Amino acid sequence: MVSQPKPELERSPYFEIVRNYGVEIDFRSFIQIEPIPSREFRKNRIDILSYGAVILTSKNAVDHYFRMCGELRIIVPETMKYFCISDATAYYLQKYIQFRKRKIFSGNYSFAELVEIIKKKHKEEKFLLPCAVDSSEEYTEMLDKEGIRYVKAPMYKAIYSELTDINFSEYDLLVLFSSAGLSSLLHSHPEFRKNNIKIAAFGEQTAEAILDAGLNLHIHAPQPHAPSMAMALEMYLKGEQSNQPWQQIPFSKKPTASHQSDKQNKNKTVHKPTREKVSEPKQSAPDNKTKKPAVAAKQTAHPKSSIKPAPLKTAPQVTKKGRQSTGANKTRNDRKQKPQKASSKIRTVSVKKTTPLKKEKATAKNPVKAKKGGSGGKKAKVAPKRKR
């Protein structure tokens, strides 16, 4: 029994399992999805365009997000970012948008991995979370823990289907895809826990709900070797998977690869200090011996040169410009100071000699000019002409 509607395509992997292994598969949807009209959605006063990113946890969330945008006459901008829980959900966006021209991010069927992607580079964004009315708080708790800004946007309802006509004792395996499907099953068949039927779960949330209900879980997907439920069923039928109940920890409670690598690095670093201490004295001894003759060779290489190496401790000398100069910079300062002294003498001499001479000549040869430039406004006396 597969708790999903019957696929319309003949190329479905479930039909291939029937042909290859001679298994009978019945399909039945345990949940019915009803849309929420736009009138009820407006009561929440949520502006869809004020959020630059959307978190999509299922194909139903994708369908009803774009349905609500169409009813509200909202054109979704091309700059919108889509964060999908899996690659299948991300590729499903091709039904509504051009996949290549959008910013789409996806996790490996784990909401914890999707939260890590958001936390690294997109924590400053404001997220919209399309969901069902009575959705679980597992996703929201992870977002609250990381301090991510989001708003829940209920856009559809999940209603339990009537499953009283199904006799589960006739089936050997039950495949569940959501925690809501399990609650719908227990609502119709409270005595289901007494059956010895094997259960397969898809997704970490579904697996945790089955274990919390006290049921035995035998098949869990996605896994690295089985990314889809069809592949996990095929491996089970081949005998590559044990028939014992699945007792591993779900993905959200597993230690991530980074935590495992940190533990390995810590174990390695315990032995590093002992190796470094042993190797340091052996390498330091020959290095000091080789460095000393190299310094002496540099000092004695040019004994006749006028420039001598500066002593280690010397008081700084102050030049006329106010800068400190060491012994190595004396020659540069001396060269700069000599032409300055010569130029300063020339300037002072030229100013003192030229200015008074010009005034004396001007007063002796041109007495008329002295009238205008004289001080006090007095007229200058003119000498009488001599007779020849």
Closest to 13 in 3D by CA, of 239, 242, 235: 235
**Predicted local distance difference test score (pLDDT) of residue 108:** 77
Q: What is the CATH number of the domain that holds 42?
A: 3.40.50.10090
Q: State the Cα–Cα distance between residues 235 and 183, nearest whole angstrom.
A: 27
Q: Tell me, yes or no, whether 130 and 36 share the same domain.
A: yes
Q: Tell me, yes or no, whether 185 and 201 share the same domain.
A: yes
**DSSP code for 382:** P
**Predicted local distance difference test score (pLDDT) of residue 362:** 45
Q: What is the DSSP string of 246-258?
A: P-PPPGGGSPPHH
Buried b (16+ CB within 10 A) or exposed e, 34-63: ebbeeeebeeeebebeebbbbbbbbebbbb
For 28, 37, 84, 219, the CA distances from 241, given in Å and listed in that order, are 26, 46, 29, 8
3 state SS of 313: coil
**Residue 73 lies inside a defined structural domain of this protein:** yes
- Residue that is last in its domain, among 253, 288, 303: 253
Q: Tell me, yes or no, whether 93 and 196 share the same domain.
A: no
- Residue that is last in its domain, among 236, 253, 270: 253
3 state SS of 82: strand
**Predicted local distance difference test score (pLDDT) of residue 296:** 40
Q: Tell me, yes or no, whether 35 and 21 share the same domain.
A: no
**Residue 263 lies inside a defined structural domain of this protein:** no
Q: State the Cα–Cα distance between residues 143 and 127, nearest whole angstrom.
A: 10
- Residue that is last in its domain, among 131, 160, 189: 160
**Predicted local distance difference test score (pLDDT) of residue 317:** 52
**Predicted local distance difference test score (pLDDT) of residue 175:** 95
**Predicted local distance difference test score (pLDDT) of residue 112:** 86
Q: Tell me, yes or no, whether 72 and 154 share the same domain.
A: yes
Q: State the Cα–Cα distance between residues 207 and 246, nearest whole angstrom.
A: 10
Q: What is the DSSP string of 121-168?
A: H-TTS-EEEEEETT--SHHHHHHHHHT--EEEEEEEEEEE---TT--G
**Residue 280 lies inside a defined structural domain of this protein:** no
Q: Tell me, yes or no, whether 156 and 36 share the same domain.
A: yes
Average pLDDT by stretches of 10, the chain with 388 residues = 89 91 94 93 93 93 95 92 90 87 81 89 92 85 92 93 92 92 92 85 88 90 85 89 56 44 42 40 44 42 46 50 47 48 44 45 46 48 60
Give the domain extent around 213: 13-25+173-253
Number of domains in the chain: 2
**DSSP code for 226:** B
**Predicted local distance difference test score (pLDDT) of residue 167:** 92
Q: What is the pTM of this model?
A: 0.58
